Amino acid sequence: LPVLLHSFLYRTAAASASLPTFLLVGPSGSGKTAFATLTERTSIAQTHTSTQPLTIEALLPSPHVPASSHYRSPGDPAYERSRRFLLLDTPGHGKLRHYATASLSDPKSIRGIIFVVDAAALAEEPGLNEAASYLHDVLLSLQKRYTSATSSKGPTGIPVLVAANKMDLFTALPANLVKHQLEKAITEVRTSRAKALRDAGAALSGGEDEVDEEREWLGEGGEGHFEFSQMQEIGTSVSVVGANVLGGKETGSVDGWWEWIGENL
């Protein structure tokens, strides 16, 4: 029995490992678990605790079509297979973010990153700053992955969906403002990080060292405003799409998010 069990587990793990994977990240309370629960699940790979990432095998719901299957018809086994993907729900708690960053350092099967934010929390400074510094770090990991790549053409870019959730709340910022506020707050994060690095460098070397500032600076080298479009340089497109996981169809749905997943599947 143990041998059978082992081979079963091994095969399951191997089959799952090859599925396209989307990382679910973002501050806690933004709605990641609610979204993961909403997906049509075919299996759950791990017991969820607040300190462990949760892997969910999901299906892209129709009428959404995986980009890889535009020329196939429903019923074709290859079409059905192409609808399968994994959602890796990572804990949002600050100390546990290394799970998300660890997956980013080995992103072979990572097709995209879904960064869930509470669009109502972004209307307040603490919520905005928390989301911006987390998103800054995610984008910086993607940039480092790109700039430290050894192959000449660079790794395939990983797209990011800023999933602006809780649009059913009347305090929620609309998607265009979510984008604007996050870009503005990331500009501030970037400036204060650069200053901290310069200060640390000055303390170490008596003022001369630039402490690899280039590698720690998100986006184009210039001093100006950060914009998500600057991530195109590292092959990463950032889309901001509003939705609400809960709160009913009248106020919207997560169709825009499915569409984005389909485009990257």
Window contacting ligand GDP (CB under 6 A); options: 3-11, 57-65, 165-173, 200-208: 165-173
Burial of 38 (0-12, 13-18, 19+ CB in 10 A): middle
Q: Which of 55, 90, 143, 165 binds ligand GDP (CB under 6 A)?
A: 165
Is 226:132 a contact under the CB 8 Å cutoff? no
Interaction between residue 244 and ligand GDP (CB under 6 A) = yes
Interaction between residue 253 and ligand GDP (CB under 6 A) = no
Is 21:13 a contact under the CB 8 Å cutoff? no
Q: Which of 45, 59, 169, 177 binds ligand GDP (CB under 6 A)?
A: 169
What count of other Cβ atoms lies within 10 Å of the Cβ of residue 78? Answer: 10
Write down the least CB distance from residue 247 to ligand GDP, Å.
Answer: 4
Q: x/- contact string, 177-216, with ligand GDP (CB under 6 A)?
A: ----------------------------------------
Interaction between residue 92 and ligand GDP (CB under 6 A) = yes
Interaction between residue 168 and ligand GDP (CB under 6 A) = yes
Interaction between residue 39 and ligand GDP (CB under 6 A) = no
**Residues at the site binding ligand GDP, with contacts judged by CB under 6 A:** 28-34, 92, 116, 165-166, 168-169, 244-247
